[in-house]
Amino acid sequence: MSPDWRGRVDADGGRRWHQVIQTPSDEAQVVFVGFPSDEGVRRNQGRPGAAAGPAHLRRAMSNLPEVDLTLADAGDTSVTGDLERDLIAHASELSRWVRPDRLVVGLGGGHEISEASLAFWREFASNGHVLNLDAHLDMREDTAPTSGTSFRTFLEAGGKNLHAFGISRAANTQPLFNLADQHGVPIVMDTEMDPWHWPAQRERLVSLLKEAEHVYLSLCLDVLEAGTAPGVSAPAGRGLNVAVVDDFVRTVAQSGKCRLFDVAELNPSLDIDERTARVAARLIWTMVAEHPFA
pLDDT digits (tens, 9 = 90+) for 126-151: 889 999 999 999 999 988 888 889 99
Q: Is residue 97 predicted with pLDDT exceeding 80?
A: yes
Residue 112 pLDDT > 70, yes or no?
A: yes
| Range of weakest confidence among 43-57, 86-100, 209-223 | 43-57
| Mean pLDDT value across residues 191-209 | 97
| Contact yes or no for 42/51 (Cβ under 8 A) | no
Q: What is the pLDDT of residue 144?
A: 85
Mean pLDDT of the chain: 95
pLDDT of residue 2: 83
pLDDT confidence of residue 208:
96
Tell me what the mean pLDDT of segment 161-177 comes to: 97
| Half-sphere CA count of 218, side-chain side, radius 13 A | 30
CA separation (Å) from 241 to 134, 168, 260?
13, 14, 23
Please measure the distance between the N-terminal and C-terminal CA atoms of the chain and give it in whole angstroms.
27
Could you tell me what percent of the chain has a pLDDT over 90? 85
27 pLDDT above the threshold of 80: yes
C-alpha span between 94 and 73 (Å, rounded): 13
Interior/surface letters 3-21, b for 16+ CB within 10 angstroms, e for the rest: ebbeeeeeeeeeebbbbeb
Contact 205, 248 (CB under 8 A): yes
Is the pLDDT at 227 greater than 90? The verdict is yes
Quick: pLDDT tens for 41-81. 888 887 888 999 999 999 999 999 999 999 999 999 999 99
Q: Percentage of the chain surpassing pLDDT 70?
A: 100
Burial of residue 144 (CB within 10 Å: 0-12, 13-18, 19+) is exposed
The structural domains of the chain, ordered by start, are 26-290 (3.40.800.10)
Spatial distance between the Cα atoms of 29 and 99, rounded to a whole number of angstroms: 10
Integer Cα distance of 108 and 111 in angstroms: 7
Q: What is the longest distance spanned by two Cα atoms in the chain?
A: 59
Q: Please tell me the predicted confidence (pLDDT) of residue 45.
A: 80
pLDDT of residue 294: 61
Residue type, 213: E
Q: What is the pLDDT of residue 264?
A: 96
Nearest to 241 by CA among 291, 274, 184, 197: 197
188-216 CB burial, b ≥16 within 10 A, e <16: bebeebeeeebeebbeebeebbeebebbb
